[in-house]
Amino acid sequence: MEMGKMPREQLGICAEGNLHSIYLMYNAEDNVEAQLRPCLASVAQYLYELTDQYADSAFNGFLAIGANYWDSLYPDERPALLRPFPAVQHQDFYAPAIEFDLFFHIRCDRYDVLHLVANEINQMLEGLVELVDEERGFRYMDSRDLTGFVDGTENPKGRQRQQVALVGEEEPRFQSGSYVHVQKYAHKLKQWHGLAQKEQEDIIGRTKQDDVEYASEDKLPSSHIKRVNLKDEQGKSKEILRQSMPYGSLRQQGLMFISVCHTPTHFEAMLHSMVKGDEHGHSDHLLRFTQALTGSSFFAPSLDFLLDAAVETY
């Protein structure tokens, strides 16, 4: 990459929402790193080019490397804050850590295109990795979670998306990359739908139909919004960019929660606030109706990092 030129981010990190998504989790075979580095660069370049080819259906995607696998793949350099998923438990609430080596996140407004690309990715990686988990997400109603509430209302807009999601000049080698956290939540929808609408709204901290946030004094300390809308010592919001979508079938359904951010500390603080709660023990009561099945930590490098690393000797 030319000196002084901003690295190109993987375009799926900050993309706007889509109708469909596919999530692929892989573990690498033993001793394949020398072959895998150029392969990942090829996949990343392929996804980048497909953004133009399928622009009419808003295709986008990115790939990310697991915190526990990073040193095997790129042993000489590591994002400063990359660390394993912060598993946490408090009383009946828990968020487990289930790490994977590689994560591929592709989205599009055409399901057939996504299916085609997922197969292409799988073929490009053949013999180097094992597919461990696959989920397919979808937009539900007007961008709502399966609980019926609008999801991602607090997401940054416009250029603010890049400022929140992408690493800046503080880490020059990893500039335009992003710290990624993924949790697969399974909802307990029968119990949730058994609640009165006002009970649901109190648990979320927002009205259901018209998506109006409660006034501060009306929010319960155990409400979801109260537990995740956090501020730092200077009073600035600890923002993340959520790229979450509902997933599932009649057997199991819920939310693929995906956080992308220039730092992992914002997500870690939110998760701690949800599960362990505040100093008075107020945990997020939404967790009574959904359970995280997985928790994985990744870093999505810039496209230029992946291309450069493909030709470097480690």
286-291 contacts, C-beta under 8 A, 24 or more apart: 286/203, 286/204, 286/224, 287/93, 288/188, 288/191, 289/147, 289/187, 289/188, 289/189, 289/191, 289/192, 289/203, 290/147, 290/185, 290/186, 290/187, 290/188, 290/254, 290/255, 291/185, 291/186, 291/188
CA 103 to chain centre: 10
Residue entry with tokens 């961008």: 143
Instruction: Give the residue from 17, 201, 172 showing the smallest Cα distance to 79.
Output: 172
Can you read off the two tokens belonging to residue 141?
């109603």
Q: What is the pLDDT along the chain (314 residues), one digit of tens a residue?
A: 555 689 999 999 999 999 999 999 999 999 999 999 999 999 999 999 999 999 999 999 999 999 999 999 999 999 999 999 999 999 999 999 999 999 999 999 999 999 999 999 999 999 999 999 999 999 999 999 999 999 988 899 999 999 999 999 999 999 999 999 999 999 999 999 999 999 999 999 999 999 999 999 999 999 999 999 998 888 889 999 999 999 999 999 999 999 999 999 999 999 999 999 988 889 999 999 999 999 999 999 999 999 999 998 77
The DSSP bridge pattern shows strands 93-95 and 241-242 to be: unpaired
Q: How far apart are CA 246 and CA 152, in angstroms?
A: 12
CA distance 212 to 27: 42
pLDDT of residue 3: 55
Find the angle CA(127)-CA(133)-CA(137) to the nearest 5 degrees.
125
pLDDT at 232: 87
Q: Could you list the active site residues?
A: 151
pLDDT at 313: 77
